[in-house]
Homo-oligomer: A and B are copies of this chain.
Amino acid sequence: MISGPPRGMRDFYPEDVRLRNWLFGLWREVSESFGFQEYDGPVVESEELYIRKSGEEIVGQLYNFEDKGGRRLALRPEMTPTLARMIIARGSSLPKPIKWFSIPQCFRYERMSKGRRREHYQWNLDIVGAEEPTAEAEVIAAAIEFLKRVGLTRDDVVVLLSNRRLLSALLKSKGLPQEKFPDVCLVIDKKGKVSDADLHAMLVDIGLSEAMIANLFDVLRIESLDDAERVLKTAGAPLAPLDETRKVLECLSHFGLAQFCRFDISIVRGLLYYTGPVFEFFDADRKFRAICGGGRYDNLLESYGGERVSAVGLGFGDVVVTEVLADKGLLPDFSSGLDYAVIPFSEEQRKVATEIAQSLRSQGRTVTMSLETKKLRKSLSDADRAGAAKVIIVAPDELAAAKVVLRDMKSGEERAIPIADLCAP
């Protein structure tokens, strides 16, 4: 006896695929309306693509293995390294800015607590080769556009924004040694997910003094960009990271989206390659994990041997948003969408029934046909269970008059209609 899918993986039955296709269809539609082009890479990549630095959760959770040729491979945990590799391979032949999107399935070998999965699909939007905060605004606006199209409003969703350069400047003004900053980011990313006591312990672990930890918690209490400005000014630090953050918000106001967005110093993201503005979307009640997130990465392509080029990316998983939509009753009802079932009364009528089915199909209708002749009641029940809206019964009496019986499955109404009416070109 064969069991279900491997632990943490999903089967997609037709009703699940209908949901998935609806989601992916909207992601594609929004991406294309913003001028993004779709790309994709292999679901299995070289492991080295993901071996950046220790500390990141994503590296510890790599779904990696050795193939028969002794190659170290991994199921892709995220798409950005593939994007970087593909862009580098094409060199300068790609006109910049590059605006690409993708909907890869991504894998993490997580411990299987709390019903978490080992795979999800992730809508990725990236703009490579754009220095200005207009790029952040563009990907955030696209993600909000998607949320609006599925029926979520600014009462349902909040976009929290911050900036690693700003956080770095603030912490530096409070005495944090620069080399500690990456580790500090990975710890701060856990804020809200673990207790403040655990957070404190993690900060001790990475070698911060009690005084520094107290300063760090002070910084995390900053509530506005104006507050941040006062701290930086007091320290005589440069204000560029502050201006950059304000510019992202200003660009979003051009989209009429300022009211979706709020500064939140504790947003840092869990990936080391972010260097500037970062953001995460949450449901307003904070009942769920982040809906999506992203930020600017300046050094990733260079770290893979490409030129230094600034980029902005956003990753948007299929799982959390589906949970949010289900919670709010916003998931559509996905019917099978079958227009017709054609039932030949006996094998004598199969040829005509086939021709009618084929004609309807050529007109763009979705049509199934009984593959064997049974008692009519049984065939009608099959058609009903298959979800057919209408049934066409091809029976000898009507056929003699070049007609068939058309039955509406909802009303139960039946009438004989000329075949020519169905098969009009």
Give A residues with C-beta under 8 Å from B.
Answer: 1-7, 9-14, 16-18, 20-21, 32-35, 37-46, 48-49, 63, 65-69, 71, 73, 75, 81-82, 84-86, 88-90, 95, 97, 99-100, 105, 107, 109, 119, 127, 130-132, 134-135, 138, 141, 145, 251, 254-256, 304-305, 336-338, 341, 350-351, 354-355, 358, 361, 364-369, 371-372, 382, 385-386
Contacts and interface: CB of A to CB of B under 8 A. Distances in A.
Contacts of A40: 11-12, 16-17, 20
Contacts of A97: 371
Contacts of A386: 35, 95, 99
Contact of A33 (B43, B73, B336, B361): B361
B34 A385 contact: no
Nearest to A9: B42
Contact of A305 (B2, B75, B100): B2
Most buried by B among A65, A75, A305: A65
Nearest to A370: B134
Contact of A3 (B46, B119, B337): B46
Contacts of A14: 37-39, 100
Integer count of this chain's copies in the complex: 2
Contacts of A304: 1-2
A42 B85 contact: no
Contact of A44 (B13, B75, B338): B75
Closest 10 CB pairs of A and B: A35-B368, A65-B65, A1-B305, A95-B385, A9-B42, A14-B37, A12-B40, A254-B354, A33-B361, A134-B371
A66 to B, nearest CB: 7
Contacts of A371: 97, 127, 130, 132, 134-135, 138
Contacts of A355: 254, 256
